[in-house]
Amino acid sequence: MNYFKPILVFLCTMTLFTSCQEVVEVDLDPAQPLLVIDAGIQWTKGSKGNQQRIKLTKLADYYASEITVVSEAVVSVSNSKGMIFDFIETPGTGEYVCTNFVPILGETYQLTIIVDGQTYSATEKLVSVPEITRIEQDENGGFLEDEMEVTFFYTDDGNEENFYLTKFDTDFLPYPEYYTISDDFNQGNEMFENFSHEDLAVGDSV
């Protein structure tokens, strides 16, 4: 009887690994065609910040291979001084571009979008970000510690409560990756964010 135990364990293990390779498709309800607004005023240090873009699309089904863009919308951003910056669509793309935007730190801006008879608005203040103090990289990133990893460091302002949004983008990613963090446990201390990926290699730009 003892000779059969290892064989039974082996057969059970093989069955387990075989079943893990099956592709499971979940029958999901169709997505409602809601408006998706990708809008963020970004002012890169050293640039004028005059060119900004806003992308309008429709919410797509999970398995959809194409995304529906939203055209012919009226898109603008205004500041507290009454200045209005119009965003004009690149025809048929759903991407609306402004080339004369004036970014001012601490200024409050209001986004207004009119499409299909509906008006959408949002208000936010343009805030500064801390400077990156140093960047490190190593080859022990990822869950298995076998990926190239890039880490950047910055110092939190201890006099205020802050939340940070980090965006990582590189050529092989179809979409940027975003991460959020608060300074609850790092008030006034050095903080960091890192990015690793199996396709990240020496010489890549992140």
- Predicted confidence at residue 149, as pLDDT, reads 95
Q: pLDDT digit string (tens) for 96-107?
A: 999 999 999 999
Cβ–Cβ < 8 Å for 56, 73: yes
List pLDDT tens digits, range 48-92. 999 999 999 998 877 777 889 999 999 999 999 999 999 999 999
Is the CA virtual torsion 7, 13, 16, 21 positive or negative?
negative
Is residue 5 predicted with pLDDT exceeding 50?
no
Over residues 125-132, the mean pLDDT reads 92
Which is nearest to 147 in space by CA: 205, 195, 203? 195
The dihedral sign for the CA sequence 169, 128, 39, 182: positive
Span 27-43, pLDDT tens digits: 777 667 899 999 999 99
Strand boundaries in 91-176, DSSP class E: 95-98, 108-115, 118-125, 132-141, 147-155, 163-168
Q: What is the pLDDT of residues 115-124, one digit of tens each?
A: 999 999 999 9
Domains of the chain by start residue, with CATH: 35-125 (2.60.40), 132-197 (no CATH)
Percentage of residues in the chain with pLDDT exceeding 90?
70
Taking CA atoms, 26 is separated from 34, 61, 66, in Å, by 22, 12, 19
Quickly count: other Cβ atoms within 10 Å of residue 101's Cβ.
20
For residue 52, CA distances in Å to 98, 102, 117 come to 5, 10, 24
**Which band of pLDDT confidence, cut at 50, 70 and 90, is reported for residue 4?**
very low
Q: What is the pLDDT of residue 31?
A: 65
Q: pTM value?
A: 0.72
